[in-house]
């Protein structure tokens, strides 16, 4: 009697299934809203760590090519990475859908997350004062054109990429990067709110609102900005070596990778 061949599930795919279970908790309407938001945060943090460790390791394993036979893997790293890409994209779509649903439920409870474009006059004044008193001293804008090498970016930090231009010269564009000091200040800021409501703004939107003030010396009239987060290969030891840039480090290390 021949035994049925056991179907092997790569441990990384199995781990993604576990993280998908965290998403299910976030989607469960019987769970309190505050806890559901926490589950989304747990999912996001887990995914960051997954890419820092497991995805980076699989990429290095794929790079060794023919030597992979000695690693006793039933599924090649390339195939696992392809499966990961497909699953992660599906989970991110689900994450976005769950978050939008939670935001609608928060609004039903009179809790509103507003952007810098939806502030009333009282909130605009608050954001200006808050920025001057709490935020300005904690940010250092980096003008990309003024440095010879790509700047050192810290792992797990949130950044604001800024594109600036002048009304009379659309061909002249200037770029800047600002680290969002969420670890120092916190990412959610409570705003003055109408009676019976609670309005909240994200720290990056506080910075967005004050971009004109930050770069007033340069005379720009138009600002565009995007939030991004850096996730680095956990085995790239760059935290203690700021003299080496983000671009140089992977180039110098053997079989190293990083993700943006």
Domain with residue 65: its CATH number is: 1.20.58.310
d(CA 200, CA 114): 6
Output the CA–CA distances (angstroms, integers) from residue 201 to 113, 160, 166, 209, 218, in the order listed. 6, 15, 28, 11, 27
Q: Tell me the percentage of the chain whose pLDDT exceeds 70.
A: 80
Examine the domain organization and report whether 54 and 122 are in the same domain.
no
Examine the domain organization and report whether 140 and 48 are in the same domain.
no
Predicted confidence (pLDDT) per residue in 111-159, tens digit? 999 999 999 999 999 999 999 999 999 999 988 876 667 778 888 889 9
> Per-residue pLDDT averaged across 218-228, rounded?
90
Sheet holding 111-114, edge to edge: 111-114, 198-202, 188-191
Whether 176 is in a domain gets the answer yes
Predicted TM-score (pTM) of the model is: 0.78
Whether 63 is in a domain gets the answer yes
Examine the domain organization and report whether 95 and 139 are in the same domain.
no
pLDDT of 158? 93
The answer on pLDDT for 3 being more than 50 is no
Examine the domain organization and report whether 147 and 216 are in the same domain.
yes
- Residue 225: φ, ψ to 5°: -150, 150
Examine the domain organization and report whether 225 and 119 are in the same domain.
yes
Whether 72 is in a domain gets the answer yes
Query: Alpha carbon 105 to chain centroid distance?
Result: 24
Whether 83 is in a domain gets the answer yes
Examine the domain organization and report whether 94 and 127 are in the same domain.
no
Examine the domain organization and report whether 201 and 178 are in the same domain.
yes
pLDDT of 68? 52
d(CA 102, CA 34): 10
> Per-residue pLDDT averaged across 201-227, rounded?
93
Examine the domain organization and report whether 206 and 143 are in the same domain.
yes
pLDDT of 64? 74
* Domain stop point among 108, 134, 149: 108
Q: Rounded to 5 degrees, what angle do the CA atoms 59, 40, 224 make? A: 75
Domain count, the chain: 2
198 vs 246, which has greater pLDDT? 198
> How much is the CA Rg of the chain, to the nearest whole Å?
22
- Residue 62: φ, ψ to 5°: -65, -30
Q: Which of 90-94, 163-167, 208-212 has the lowest mean pLDDT?
A: 163-167
Query: Environment class of residue 159 by beta-carbon count within 10 Å: exposed (0-12), middle (13-18) or buried (19+)?
Result: buried
CB 88: neighbour CB atoms within 10 A?
Answer: 17
Predicted confidence (pLDDT) per residue in 79-121, tens digit? 899 999 999 999 999 999 999 999 999 999 999 999 999 999 9
d(CA 80, CA 249): 26
d(CA 223, CA 162): 7
Pick from 255, 249, 260: which is nearest to 57 by CA? 255
Whether 4 is in a domain gets the answer no
Residue 214: pLDDT band (50, 70, 90) is: very high
d(CA 68, CA 88): 24
Domain assignment of residue 79, given as a range: 11-108
pLDDT of 134? 96
Pairing mode, strands 198-202 and 258-259:
unpaired
- Residue 147: φ, ψ to 5°: -120, 150
Whether 54 is in a domain gets the answer yes
d(CA 36, CA 29): 8
pLDDT of 39? 96
Whether 76 is in a domain gets the answer yes
Examine the domain organization and report whether 58 and 142 are in the same domain.
no
Residue found by looking up tokens 């299934």 in the block? 17
d(CA 139, CA 7): 52
Residue 236: pLDDT band (50, 70, 90) is: low
Looking from the CA of 68 toward its CB, the CA atoms found within 13 Å total 17
């Amino acid at each position: 009697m021949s035994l049925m061949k056991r179907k092997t599930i790569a441990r990384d795919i199995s781990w993604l299934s576990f993280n998908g279970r965290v998403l299910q908790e976030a989607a469960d309407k019987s769970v309190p809203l505050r806890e559901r938001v926490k589950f989304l945060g747990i999912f996001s943090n887990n995914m960051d760590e997954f890419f820092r460790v497991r995805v980076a390791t699989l990429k290095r394993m794929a790079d060794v090519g023919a030597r992979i036979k000695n690693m006793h893997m039933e599924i090649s790293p390339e195939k696992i990475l392809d499966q990961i890409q497909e699953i992660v994209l599906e989970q991110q779509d689900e994450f976005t859908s769950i978050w939008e649903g939670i935001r609608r439920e928060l609004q039903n409870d009179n809790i509103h997350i507003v952007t810098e474009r939806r502030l009333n006059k009282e909130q605009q004044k608050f954001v200006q004062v808050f920025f001057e008193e709490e935020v300005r001293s904690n940010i250092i804008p980096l003008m990309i054109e003024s440095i010879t090498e790509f700047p050192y970016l810290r792992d797990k930090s949130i950044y604001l990429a800024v594109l600036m231009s002048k009304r009379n010269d659309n061909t002249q564009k200037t770029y800047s990067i600002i680290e969002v000091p969420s670890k120092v200040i916190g990412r959610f800021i409570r705003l003055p709110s109408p009676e019976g409501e609670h309005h909240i703004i994200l720290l990056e939107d506080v910075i967005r609102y004050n971009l004109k003030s930050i770069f007033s010396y340069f005379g720009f009239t138009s600002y565009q900005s995007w939030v991004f987060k850096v996730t680095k290969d956990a085995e790239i030891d760059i935290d203690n070596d700021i003299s080496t840039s983000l671009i140089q480090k992977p180039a110098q290390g053997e079989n190293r990778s990083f993700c943006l």
